[in-house]
Amino acid sequence: MSFIPPEKFRLYKKGETNPVAEGVSPLAITGIAANTDVLAGDFTVTGVATVDGVEKESDHVDVPAFKTLPIVVTGITLDKTELALKVGETATLTPTVMPENATNKAYRFSSEDAAIGTITPVQGKVTGVSEGITKLVGTTEDGNFTAECTLTVSAAE
């Protein structure tokens, strides 16, 4: 008996008869959420070769356990790039982490000079503390992307 190398592969979800993917290695599996653990045996693979003009499929082999890749953050924006408050006034900054379906959308806010203006780390509540100008920065946990808002605080009337 001679070995015939496969021309392509077929990937099956456990218990199903129609392949979820077919082609040469590596095969892409769609429909599994990002950052998901997949157990060994949830998928099987076969090799396919043409013998005497007829497609022949090998026995099914369990695919080892794997984890799908996370969807990484590509950036962050803030709903305001400039903000003017009087001492004691408050406002809220709202971030948008991109892409919308990123796996880890966590972020934190900070103020370059808390003596002029403060911002809560997650809620984005800004408070004018004393006269001056400072930068408020939103930073993503994934990738450390940043976006800035210039805060100008003037005297209360």
Would you give the distance in Å from CA 75 to the centre of its chain?
10
| CA dihedral angle for residue 75, residue 80, residue 81, residue 82, rounded to 10 degrees | -160
Rg (CA), the chain: 27
Going by pLDDT thresholds of 50, 70 and 90, the confidence category of residue 2 is low
Nearest Cα neighbor of 138 from 80, 95, 101, 74 is 95
- Show the beta-strand stretches assigned E in 5-51: 8-13, 21-23, 37-38, 43-51
Q: What burial letters (b/e) apply to 71-81, b meaning 16+ CB within 10 Å?
A: bebeebebebe
Predicted pLDDT of residue 31: 80
Report d(CA 125, CA 80) in Å as an integer: 13
* Phi and psi angles of residue 123, each rounded to the nearest 5 degrees, phi first: -75, -25
98: tokens are 């991109």
CB contact set of 58 (below 8 Å; sequence gap of 6+): 6, 46, 47, 48, 49
- Going by pLDDT thresholds of 50, 70 and 90, the confidence category of residue 27 is confident
Of the pLDDT bands very low, low, confident and very high (cuts 50, 70, 90), residue 15 is confident
What is the value of pTM for the model shown? Answer: 0.73
pLDDT score at 3? 63
Could you tell me the domains of the chain?
Answer: 8-67 (no CATH), 75-154 (2.60.40.1080)
Phi, psi of 44 (to 5 degrees): -125, 160
Distance CA 118, CA 137 (A): 11
Model confidence pLDDT, tens digit, residues 39-80: 998 989 988 888 888 888 889 899 899 998 899 999 999 999
Contact residues for 10 (Cβ-Cβ < 8 A; gap 6+): 19, 21, 22, 45, 46, 48, 57
Counting every residue, how long is the chain?
157
